[in-house]
Structure 1
Amino acid sequence: MAIDVSTTPAPAPAPPAAERLTGRARLVLLVLCAAQFMVALDFSVLNVALPVLGKDLGMTRSGLQWAVTAFALPSGGFLLLFGRIADLVGRRKLFLTGLAVFGAASLVATFAWNQEVFLTGRALQGLGAAVIVPTGMSLLTTTFPEGPQRDRALGISGTLLSLGFTVGMVLGGVMTDTLGWRSTMGLLGGAAVVVIALAPGLLTESRHPERPRLDIPGAVTVTGGLLAMIYALSTAAQRGFGHADVVVSLVLGIALLAAFVFVESRSDAPLVSLPMLKRRTVAWGNLGGLVTFSMMSTVVFVLTLYFQEVLHLSSFRTGLIFGVQGLASVVAGMAAPKVIGRFGARRVLVGSLLAQGLFIAAMLGLGADSGIWLATVAVSVASMAHLGAIISYGLTVTSGVPDAEQGLATGLVTTTQQVGMTVGIPLLGVLATTPADLFSGVRAVLGISAAVLVGTAVLVAAALRRGGRDRGRDL
C-alpha cells in the first residue's frame, strides 16, 4: 500500500492525500459500482411486476417462480467458476463479456413474446450476472490497495448493492404501473449499454501471473452442486421440501459438493484452495455474510406481506417505507469505512450481526393492526447494521489475500452474497405463507431470523477472538 509512513515532519500530510481517490480512480469505481448496482436491481425490480407479467405471457401462478429461479440458478451456480476463469484469462475481458451477455439478455426479456423466450432471457441475465459480479469485485480489490482506499471502495460498493435491491422494489412498482413490466427489463439493458461504453477506456487488464490450468473436475462438481442446491431451495417454497424433485436435488447437491471437497483435496491446481477455506477469516467471514444476506432478504420479504396483506397498505406507501430503509443504508455505507478503520473489520462484523438481530427482534412487538412506525424504524436500523456486516465481511475475507488469488477470494464473497439472497426466502419465507394466520407466520420468521443472527454473531466472535490484527495475518 503506497502510503508514506515516515515520521519526519515534512511528509506528515502524505497519508491523507494517499487515502484520497484520484479522478480516474473515482471513474473506475463508478463503473464497477454501476455494474454491481445493475445486478442488485435485477434481483428485485421484477418482483412487483410478476402478476402483470404472468397474465401477459400466460404464466400460471406456480410458474411465476421461474421468473425468479431462472435468474437465480445461473447467477449463483456459476460464480465460483467464472471467478476462477477470470483469474486465468483476464478479469477485464471477462467483465466486458458478462456485460454484453447481460445487456443482450435484458433485451431478449424485454421483447419476449411468450414465457419460453422470457425465461431464456432471464437465464442468460443470470449467466451474465455470474460473470459480472466476481470479475467486478476482483477488479475493485486489485485496483484499490488494501487499506483506507479499499475500505472506502468496498463501502460504496456495498451501499449500492443494498440500495439496488431496495430501489428495485420501489422502482419496479412505479415503472410497471406507468410504463408496463417490459420497461423494467429495458432499463437493465440500457444500463448495461452505458457501462459497456464507459468501461473499456477506464479498466486495465489483470490476471493470475502463472496462468495455471483450470480444474475441470472441481468446476463441474461445485457448479453442479450449487445449481442443484439453489434449484431445490428456490422451488421448496412453492412445492414443499417433501416434493420428489426437491428431495432429489438436495441429495444431488450435497453429494456433488462433497465430491468437490474430495476432488479439491487431491488436485494440483484446485479451483478452490482448501487451505484458504481453513483460514478462520475466510470460513467465518463468509458465514457472517451468508447469514446477513439470507436473513435480511427474508425479513424484507415478510415485511412486504405484513404491510400489504396485514396492515393493508398500498404498494406506494410500502415503497416509501423501504425508501426510508434505503436512505438508512446509504448513511451506513458512508460511515462504515470510518468505523471499520477505527475498530477493525472483525469487530464491526460481529457488532453488525448482533445489532441486526436485536432490531429484527424488536419487530416482534408489531401488532396485527398497528406497527408502521416501529417497523419503519427497526428495519431501517437493522439495514444499517446489515450494510456494516456486508462491508466488514468482504474486508475480513479478502484482507491479506494476494492479488493473484483475489478472483478466487472475491468469488467466494460474491457466491456467499448470491446464495444468501437466494436461499433465505425459500427456507424461512414459506413459514410466513403457509399458516392460515399470516401475521403469526410473519412473527415466526422475524423471531427465527433474529435468533440466527445473534447466534451467528456469538459464533463468529468466538472463532475470530484469537486472531491477530484485521489485516494480512494468515490464520
Structure 2
Amino acid sequence: MTTQQASETTSSPRMTSRQATVLVVLLASQFLMAADFSILNVALPRVGVDLGFSAGGLQWIVTSFALCAAGCTLVFGRVGDYLGRRRIFIVGMLILAVASVIGGLAGTPALLLVARTLQGLATAAVTPAALALLTTTFTEPGLRAKALGLNGVMMSSGFSVGAVLGGVLTDALSWRWAFFINIPVAILAVIVVLLVVPESKADNAGRIDLPGAVLITLGLFCGIYGVTQAAENGADLVSVAAMVLSAVLLAGFWAVESRTRDALVPVRILRMPDVAFSNMSALFIFGGETALIFFTGLYVQNVLGFTPLMAGLVLLGIGIGQILGGIVGPHIIKKIPPRTLLGLSLMGQGAFMLPILVMPATPSWILAVVATQFVNAVFSMLAMLAFMVIATSAVDSDQQGMATGMATQSQQVGIAIGIPLMSAVFTAVIGAEAAGAAQLPGIHTAILVDGLLLTAAGLALLFVLRRTAKAKEDAQTLRAGGV
C-alpha cells in the first residue's frame, strides 16, 4: 500500500448494500471453514478410539487435511482467476458437503482420511476464492482493510465457536456431528452465493499453467510431508528424501515460471519484496499461533487436568482476542503503515507467548493463561491483517486470485509445519513417553522457541520491509524529478 493509499483510508466511502450482502455471505463461509477446522480437533481423541486409529496414525487426521489444503490452494486461487472465483467457491462448497457425508458415515480410518483429504481440497478452493471475491468487491483501500479485518474476525469467531461446539457435540451426541453439521450450511452457502454474489474473473484470461501447477503442488506436498515425518521420526531416509525432492520440484517450478507466458505465478511477482516477505511472515504468524494453541491444549488438559470442553472454553481467550484485533485493526492500519504494523505485531505476538514460561502445574494459574493468550491473539490478528493488506495490495485486480491463493497457501503451510516443528522441540526435551505434569518442561521449551522465532521474525521484517519501502519512495522521487 502506497503513502497515498494509506492517506485515502482516512476518508473511506460507505459500503453499498450490494457490497454488504456479498460481505455477509463470504464471511459466513470463512466462519464455516474455521469452525470446521477446530471442531474436529477437539474431537480427535474420541475419533481415534471409535475408529481404531493407532497413536501414530491419529496425527494423519490433521496432516491429510493440511497437506491438501496447503498444496492445492495456490492452484485453485489461480484457476479462479481464469474460470471464475464464484464458480470455484461453489465447487469447493460442494466438495465440502460430499466430504462431510463421507466423514460422518466413516467406519474405518481409511474412509475418514479420504473425507479429510476432500475437506482439505474444499478449503484450498473456498478460502482463496472467498478472499479474492472480497478484495475485488472492495477495491478502495479503507473498505478493503475493513473487509479483511472482518474476515479475520469471522475466522477467529469460527475457530472459537468450533472449539467449544466440538466439545459439546462430542460429549452430547457424537464426533460424527462435527462432519454432519457442515452439510446444510454448505448447501445453503451455494444457494445464497448463486443468488447474490456476481461472478469475478480476470479480464485477460490465458491458458492454465499445468506444469507449474503440478510442480508447486507436488513440491509443497513433499516438503510438508518431509517436515512432518522428520519431526515425528527424526531425520530418516524417507523424510530427507521427501525434502530433497521438494527442493528439486520447487526449483523446477521457478524455472518453468521464468519461461512460461501464462505462468501460475510470474517470477516478477515472486520477486516483489512486499509479496515475498509478507507471505514469508505468514509462515511465522500462523505456524507460531497454531503451535501455541496446540501446547496450550496440552498444558490445560494434560498438566492442569481440565476436560476437553474446558480446554475449548480456555481457547475462547484466543478467539476473543483475535476478534478484538480484527475490529480495531482497520482503524490502527490507518495510523500505522502496514509494513510497520506487521513487524510490530509479530514482535508482540512472540513476546506474549513468553509469560507462559513461568506458569507452573497449578490450576489457579488458568486465568493468567487466558489473559496472556488474549493479548497474544490481539497481536496475532493485527499481524494477519497487515500481512493480508500488503500481500493483496501489491498486485492488480486481475491477479487477486493468485495473490489470495499465495496468501492462503502461506497460511496453510505455516499451519501444517508449525506443530510438527515445535513438537520436535517438545519431544527432544522430555522424550516421547512423558505424561501429565512431566510434559511441562517440554511445553515451556517449545513455547520459548516459538516466541523467540516470532520476535526475531518481527524485528527482521520491520527492518527489511521499511528499508525496501524507503528505497521504492526514493526511486519514485528520482523519476518524478526526471533523474
Contact in 2 for aligned 1:336/1:388 (Cα 8 Å) = yes
Tell me by how many angstroms 1:259 deviates: 1.3
TM-score, reference length from structure 1: 0.92
For 1:12-411, list aligned pairs within 5 A.
19-238=13-232, 240-369=233-362, 371-411=365-405
1:442 matched residue in structure 2: 443
Matched, 1:432 2:426: yes
The 10-residue stretch of structure 1 (454-463 or 241-250) with the greater mean CA deviation from structure 2: 241-250
Contact in 1 for aligned 2:128/2:408 (Cα 8 Å) = yes
1:452 matched residue in structure 2: 453
Mapped to 2, the partners of 1:471 and 1:19 lie a distance apart of: 28
1:8 matched residue in structure 2: none
- Look up the SS of the partner of 1:92 in the other structure: helix
Mapped to 1, the partners of 2:421 and 2:304 lie a distance apart of: 24
Contact in 2 for aligned 1:146/1:399 (Cα 8 Å) = no
User: Which amino acid in structure 1 is aligned with residue 212 of structure 2?
Assistant: G
CA, structure 1 residues 46+235, in 2 after alignment: closer, same or farther (shift >3 Å)?
farther
User: Which amino acid in structure 1 is aligned with residue 361 of structure 2?
Assistant: A
CA, structure 1 residues 110+206, in 2 after alignment: closer, same or farther (shift >3 Å)?
same
Mapped to 1, the partners of 2:229 and 2:290 lie a distance apart of: 17
Mapped to 1, the partners of 2:96 and 2:472 lie a distance apart of: 35
When the two chains are superposed, the root-mean-square deviation of aligned CA atoms in Å is: 2.3
Contact in 1 for aligned 2:152/2:323 (Cα 8 Å) = no
- Look up the SS of the partner of 1:387 in the other structure: helix
Tell me by how many angstroms 1:151 deviates: 0.5
Mapped to 2, the partners of 1:140 and 1:125 lie a distance apart of: 22
Mapped to 2, the partners of 1:470 and 1:188 lie a distance apart of: 48
Cα displacement string for residues 359-404 of structure 1 (whole angstroms, at most 9, x for unaligned residues): 1122222123353232211111000100000111000111141111
Mapped to 2, the partners of 1:48 and 1:76 lie a distance apart of: 21
CA, structure 1 residues 216+344, in 2 after alignment: closer, same or farther (shift >3 Å)?
same
Mapped to 1, the partners of 2:474 and 2:211 lie a distance apart of: 31
- Look up the SS of the partner of 1:464 in the other structure: helix
Contact in 2 for aligned 1:360/1:450 (Cα 8 Å) = yes
Mapped to 2, the partners of 1:449 and 1:112 lie a distance apart of: 36
The 10-residue stretch of structure 1 (155-164 or 132-141) with the greater mean CA deviation from structure 2: 155-164
Cα displacement string for residues 111-149 of structure 1 (whole angstroms, at most 9, x for unaligned residues): 123222222111111111111111111111001113111
Contact in 1 for aligned 2:68/2:120 (Cα 8 Å) = yes
Contact in 2 for aligned 1:91/1:205 (Cα 8 Å) = yes
Mapped to 2, the partners of 1:379 and 1:324 lie a distance apart of: 6
Which consecutive unaligned segments of at least 5 residues does structure 1 have? 6-13
Mapped to 2, the partners of 1:196 and 1:94 lie a distance apart of: 11
Which consecutive unaligned segments of at least 5 residues does structure 2 have? 477-483
Mapped to 2, the partners of 1:474 and 1:45 lie a distance apart of: 49
Mapped to 1, the partners of 2:322 and 2:146 lie a distance apart of: 15
Contact in 2 for aligned 1:350/1:461 (Cα 8 Å) = yes
CA, structure 1 residues 471+298, in 2 after alignment: closer, same or farther (shift >3 Å)?
farther
The 10-residue stretch of structure 1 (464-473 or 204-213) with the greater mean CA deviation from structure 2: 464-473
More helix by share: 2
Aligned residue-pair number: 462
The 10-residue stretch of structure 1 (368-377 or 283-292) with the greater mean CA deviation from structure 2: 368-377
- Look up the SS of the partner of 1:367 in the other structure: coil
Tell me by how many angstroms 1:202 deviates: 1.3
Contact in 2 for aligned 1:356/1:383 (Cα 8 Å) = yes
- Look up the SS of the partner of 1:465 in the other structure: helix
User: Which amino acid in structure 1 is aligned with residue 392 of structure 2?
Assistant: T
The 10-residue stretch of structure 1 (439-448 or 363-372) with the greater mean CA deviation from structure 2: 363-372
Mapped to 1, the partners of 2:91 and 2:208 lie a distance apart of: 19
